[in-house]
Structure 1
Amino acid sequence: MEEMNFLNGPCQVVPATEEITTDRYGYVKLRIPKTGTAVETVEPISIPGLLTTTAEKNPDNIAYIYKNLEGKPVEVTYKEYLQKIRDCAKAFIHLGLEPRHGVAIIGFNSPEWIISNMATIFAGGISTGIYATNSPEACLHCAQLSKANVIVVEDEKQYEKIEQIREKLPLLKAVVQYSGTPKNSDVLTWDKLMEIGAKQDDTLLDNALKRIAINQCCTLIFTSGTVGNPKAVMLSHDNLVFDSRSIFERINIGPKEVLVSYLPFSHVAAQIIDMYVATTAAATLYFADKDALKGSLLKTLQEARPTKFIAVPRVWEKIQEKMLHIGSQSGFLKKSIASWAKAHALEYHLKKIQGETSSSWGYSIASSLILSKVKQALGLDRCDLFVSAAAPISMDVKKYFLSLDIPLMDAFGMSESSGAHCLGIPSAFNLDTVGGPIPGVKTKIVANAEEDQGEICMYGRHVFMGYLDEPEKTKETLDSEGWLHSGDLGRQDDKGFLYITGRLKELLITAGGENVPPVPIEHMVQSQLPNISYAMLIGDKKKFLSLLIALKTEVDPSTGAPTAVLTPAVQNWLKSLGCPATTIDEVLNAGPDQKLLDAIQEGINKVNEKATSNAQKIQKFKLLPSDFSVATGELGPTMKLKRRIVIEKYKHLVDSMYS
């Protein structure tokens, strides 16, 4: 379709007959039902339209806060933010960014990241986030598929990856480095980029904005596929704006809100919350430093004091570990008071979930005098919404935080649904579900007649356009009616609450044909054995189930990789068993002490007692020589377990259990 015929952007909708496309130049029909809630029929708007409107209505609101080289906070208003985006967009166009071609961005969250992202979209390009942990080969795939004309890198370390593949990128016209001084004279500094943009006339940008349509691709999110290269999820302006508006309506977020940015921007969860929900609400984004997931997040939380906070399960688990360790160092009186307060808070919240709304003097005192200080120490004293997203979280972790007066709301979605599809809120949640659907979306469960669970399918304006240049894989995920097949198993109750019961791809099918969902069993093991960092279930096409077990170890703050040093809690546990050790090497070198093996087996036996069949009982286990981490490859960027990688890495241990 000729773009020159449609010059009423950036908030135009170009006529289209299909809801699905895999063509970067394609347009899609908006999935707007004839009837529905207000959010479904609200006037569509583009990302430039959304951001410009927010900046014009709230010019002096603080868009984001970052720390300069001296470590001092710097505030940037929405008016200033919009101007920076426009200058950056003009620079990209001047450097040769073509319509529907990519600007690839690789690095930790920063103002430069979001400005580059928004500027690409303003200029009519396709923003392409690349995970900072990607190899040069993975970067090459992303840059080639997006047809990147510009690549923005954080520092010299990230540029070295691009340098290795630059000759294979004939469409690449410029590389920009936003941190440190580039060693290569061909690499532009961020200041130089912005200087170039500020000198350009607005005409080129205004003309680019006129060609933009709401129903065209503006962003690629790369999935972390288990086989082959990751697929590029094509998201339109309407996908992202609709999802952000629906979340905005669901959680009642406002212009005085403060959010902390630390989850990687190359992941859809961070983009939809930190960029688009924040912009919709005219809220403030507070940038964490790059070591956030290596241990500095708590310091940022104490400084920013966010009003809403989203974390992946592993972050909540790390906070729990820290709190339990601090609690173990307390004296008898402090422990007794803390236990009393936590018991009252847990009882109150469990009753509230059941519909009992009356408070008690015990909870009131515990909340105001004791647990409020815990929240203050965590930097969460202003927070009224706590969310866990991106992976399943165990019931025990949820209950622990309930006892701290911190109810964790689950969120469910995927890259292909622009982020959120379901989200719990304090007025409507329980411990078993991932909440109810956000406004304006539809859910159906595809199940056999005799089953009460099936594959979760989604429909709405948040459902993606297709996988770029991959029509066959798109057909595997989007059916002919436009329903997105999630690959997750679940059920929905009469109140609309969605329950996740497993994952089709993670489902283990034993040699005897038994279907076993691994996550619930793994969570039960971790509940029985709290000093275990990960328990990964093995058993696909095997005669019986087994476990790979990682003990909790300290993390190297400079690399994020696990060290051999066991955490203090694990050391104390081993000492109590009569087999003291300070490192995982000491545990394994002479062969694990029988007393430790017996303690682990005892925990497994308790889990096996709850098994629904003999096929779901764990028969063997092996201790691993290292904990899991993003840096060492067992976890994805949002700390989701990469099962295939773990099995390949420890194939010899797996084989030894089945030989």
Structure 2
Amino acid sequence: MENDENIAVHKTQPVNGIQRNTFMNGPDQVVPSSNYNVWEPEGAVKLRLAPRGVAAEPPVSVPGLLTRIASRYPDLKALCTKKADGKWHKITYKQYRERVRTVAKGFLKLGLERYHSVCIIGFNSEPWFLSDLAAIHAGGFAAGIYTTNSAEACFHCLSSSRANICTVQDKKQLEKILSIKSRLPHLKAIVQWEGTVDTSIPGVYSWDQLMEIGSKESDTALDNVLKHIAVNECCTLVYTSGTVGPPKAVMLSHDNLIWDAHTISIRCGDMQPEAERLVSFLPLSHVAAQVLDIYTSMTKGISVFFAQPDALKGSIVETLKEVRPTRFLAVPRVFEKMHEKIVAVGASRGAITRYIAGLARNATYNYHMARIDGYEGTSFGYRLAKSLVISKALDALGLDQCKMYISSAAPMSPEIKKFFMSLDMPIVEAFGMSEMAGAHALSIYPKMKLDSVGELLDGTETRFDGSVSPNGPGEICMRGRHLMMGYLNDKEKTQEAIDDEGWIHSGDIGRVDDFDLLYVTGRIKELLITAGGENVAPVPIEQVVQAELRHVGYAVLIGDKRKFLSMLITIKTKVDNETGAALDALEPEAQKWVTSLGSKATTLSEISKTKDPAVHKAIEEGIARANKKAISNAQKVQKFAILPADLSMPSGELGPTLKIKRNVVYDKYKDIIEDFYRE
């Protein structure tokens, strides 16, 4: 083990010929750099400061922000965890900062080196937050790993980030890391925060041991490290979940994260620290959850409540009922699942109840659409609907005190937005990417449109490559203080993504209207170019089909370099609550639908194998209805097939945010696809 003096300083690297040791006014200092992009772990970047506005505000480091919020609201609830006895354990912002410092001292003692990482793998929890911030305080990088990652995928993250320490939730995750530990020369310690820990294994520690180690260390070494930290250095690595090649490590600086979080908090409007509550349940390895749950909460003093590990399998509603959040962030698939359950409950009600609920939803939807169109008053119908019906529905969901609903990470169907708008839940979309530290556009109701992905954030820049108009359409290119530093150790990929003028090319096709509302019309990599030369964006067509056939699980459009479009269809099935894998048995509402068609099938594989005539006809009719909405004949679906299994993460067709991995689907079902186009 190194002595305290060596732990505090380590070996420093020159920046533009200046020894980094010269700069000891951290953590909120800016070290000199003439480069906007770097890929070396020790690199620093030039900040994209503007002469005025939000992009001109002084930069703040992650440790600096935590110190400020702990000083301003020392007794405010920061992190809240539900214990086994059913009671919520809460720590204040003052305690939050103290625990971060204790863990950081523990990390230093265990051997965390400057510009090396602490990898974190587990469900959202207090130890996850503490590991993240402590890694940064101790001069390292925080790097989240998806809990669903295989051991080899974990190896890539730990190896490429030179991880000295890995914190894991439980024995299951520990075993993954132990199976690859011999190939990780930088890895010095593994800390398990939940369950029984076998500390007889060399280099394995329990969370309590880590806290004890840190509490025995003086503040000297940590304070020395903090003096060397700079806001324009890397503090976090976010691994992209790409479908081609190993994930790239996006280098995000203190300024990237804190500036984007601050800008988001401004866009969100009036936020009262004592009254704001957030439920953390989306994977923190994803930049959207990380920026909102960890960093935006620190900018405004929001109380974060951790959901249960099985949140995405159904328990989230119970947590919402207990917490009554004021802000709610989810991915489209979560809203879609909520939609399915609400519809199923509604279908079980009596005819009169359904009729009244329908009137209430129509009145509520019309009110919100009027607001979006500029009407500022309220109608008697809306007030009555809210009082008698809608308020009860929101109360049952635990969302009666929620002021903002945000969807991120994937496109959301306008039909789903309409449904929730009729329940007094106007969902706004956030658009961004890991490389932009999260959000680049975010709408605030009522300045929104159902088909827009958000209003461009103040202080950001946007242009549309390949367009003759400054408003697009063209490839969405972005620039601003939230633009990443680069891809770790990958000069080629960094320069490929960011052009000579500093614009990152998103790969998305879009446009902006006169109100700065952004619209995404397709993705270049997903764009299908038919044999006839027609450019077809698959997502809008898939969404129309799903709107016509609500019991369809996934619809995947085929047609690149083909003479016509075809589609792979799944029907919703039950899900294994432990693994998240799609089961063969049909989901109850889908089963009712199949039975109503006259079919005796009870499983998806049976429907697929027998090409069930009744189900096949119903889907054919639904696609025919969708085709009537197509803008051209080339965008009509000509053939389809029902797959033998629904898509899921465990089977590899969905990513961590439940987006379709199209290349995986294409490869897995290539024989079915080829059958579409046989002469």
Question: Counterpart of 1:179 in structure 2: which amino acid?
Answer: E
Contact 1:249/1:439 (CA < 8 Å) preserved in 2? Answer: no
Contact in 1 for aligned 2:80/2:303 (Cα 8 Å): yes
Per-residue deviation at 1:360? Answer: 1.4
Q: SS at 2:179's partner residue?
A: helix
How many residue pairs get aligned? The number is 656
In the alignment, is residue 516 of structure 1 matched against residue 536 of structure 2? yes
Q: Is residue 334 of structure 1 aligned with residue 363 of structure 2? A: no
**Amino acid paired to 1:70:** D
Aligned counterparts of 1:305 and 1:631: Cα–Cα separation in 2: 31
Is 2:272 the partner of 1:254?
A: yes
Deviation at 1:295, TM superposition (A): 1.1
Structure 2 counterpart of 1:16: 33
Residue in 2 that maps onto 1:174: 189
Q: Cα distance, 1:452 vs. partner?
A: 4.4
SS state of the match for residue 632, structure 1? coil
Pick from 231, 244, 247: which aligns with 1:227?
Answer: 244
Q: Paired residue for 2:81?
A: 66
Q: How far 1:107 moved relative to its partner?
A: 1.0
Supply the AA of the counterpart residue of 2:169: E
- The question of whether the paired residues in 2 share the 8 Å contact of 1:571 and 1:580 is answered with no
Identity of aligned pairs, percent?
A: 52
Stretches of structure 1 lacking an aligned partner (at least 5 in a row) = none
**Alignment-derived partner of residue 558 in structure 1:** 578
Q: Contact 2:476 / 2:508 at 8 angstroms: preserved in 1? A: yes
**Residue 205 (structure 1) aligns with:** 222
Q: Is 1:148–2:163 an aligned residue pair?
A: yes
Q: CA deviation at 1:658?
A: 2.4
Contact 2:464–2:472 (CA under 8 A) maintained in structure 1 = no
1:102-156: CA deviations, max 9, x gaps? 1111111110001000000000001111111111111111111100000111111
In structure 2, the residue corresponding to 1:381 is in which secondary structure? coil
- 1:336 Cα deviation (Å)? 0.9
SS at match of 1:554: strand
Query: Could you tell me how far apart the structure 1 residues matched to 2:316 and 2:47 are?
Result: 39
One-letter code of the match for 1:475? Q
How far did residue 343 of structure 1 move?
Answer: 0.7
Q: Distance in 2 between matches of 1:165 and 1:468?
A: 21
How far off its partner does 1:610 sit?
2.4
Match of 2:325 among 299, 303, 306: 306
Kindly indicate whether residue 176 of structure 2 is the aligned counterpart of residue 161 of structure 1. yes
Query: The residue matched to 1:221 in structure 2 has which SS?
Result: strand
Cα distance between partner residues in 1 of 2:670 and 2:98: 54
1:342-368 deviation digits (Å, cap 9, x = unpaired): 010111111221112232111110012
| Structure 2 partner of 1:218 | 235
1:324-343 C-alpha deviation (Å, 9 max, x unpaired): 00000000111011001001
Q: Which amino acid aligns with 1:650?
A: Y
Q: Who is 1:396 aligned against? A: 415
Q: Within 5 A, what are the aligned runs for 1:174-573?
A: 174-183=189-198, 185=200, 186=202, 187-252=204-269, 253-255=271-273, 256-449=275-468, 452-573=472-593
Could you say which residue in structure 2 is the equivalent of 1:98?
113
User: How far 1:68 moved relative to its partner?
Assistant: 2.0
Residue 451 of structure 2 aligns to which amino acid in structure 1? D
Could you say if the C-alpha distance between residues 452 and 12 of structure 1 is closer, same or farther in structure 2, counting changes exceeding 3 Å?
closer
Q: CA RMSD in A?
A: 1.3
Which of 18, 22, 30 aligns to 1:5? It is: 22
Aligned amino acid, residue 213 of structure 1:
A
Measure, in 2, the Cα distance between the counterparts of 1:634 and 1:373. Answer: 37
Aligned to 1:600: 619
**Alpha-carbon distance, 1:448 to partner:** 3.2
Q: Which amino acid aligns with 1:365?
A: L
What is the CA-CA distance between 1:184 and the residue it aligns to? 5.3
Would you say the 8 A contact 1:445–1:492 is kept in 2? no
**Which one of the candidate residues 51, 70, 87 is aligned to 2:102?**
87
SS in 1 for 2:641: strand
Paired residues of 2:607 and 2:644 also in contact (CA < 8 A): no
Q: Look up the SS of the partner of 1:226 in the other structure.
A: coil
In the alignment, the residues of structure 1 paired with residue 48 and residue 168 of structure 2 have an alpha-carbon distance, to the nearest angstrom, of 36
**Cα-to-partner distance string for 1:196-241 (whole Å, 9 max, x where unaligned):** 0000010000001001000000000000112111100000000000
**TM-score, length-scaled by structure 1:** 0.98
What is the DSSP-based 3-state SS (H/G/I as helix, E as strand, rest coil) of the residue aligned with 1:586? helix
- Post-superposition CA distance 1:388-423 (Å, at most 9, x none): 111000011010001111101011000000001100
Deviation at 1:11, TM superposition (A): 0.5
Task: Specify the code of the residue in structure 1 equivalent to 2:548.
Answer: Q
SS at match of 2:78: strand
- TM-aligned CA deviation for residue 474 of structure 1: 0.8
Alignment deviations for residues 501-555 of structure 1 (CA, whole Å, 9 cap, x no partner): 1111111112222211000000000011111011010112222211111101111
> Residue 472 of structure 2 contacts residue 512 of structure 2 at CA under 8 Å; is this kept in 1?
no
Alignment match, 1:574: 594
User: Are 2:606 and 2:644, in contact at CA under 8 Å, matched by a contact in 1?
Assistant: no
Q: Which amino acid in the other structure matches residue 166 of structure 1?
A: K
Letter in structure 2 aligned against 1:136: A
Deviations 1:412-448 (A, max 9, x none): 0000000011001013112121121122111111233
Report which stretch shifted further, 421-430 or 46-55.
421-430
Distance between the aligned counterparts of 1:648 and 1:254, measured in 2?
A: 50
Question: More deviation in 226-235 or 475-484?
Answer: 475-484
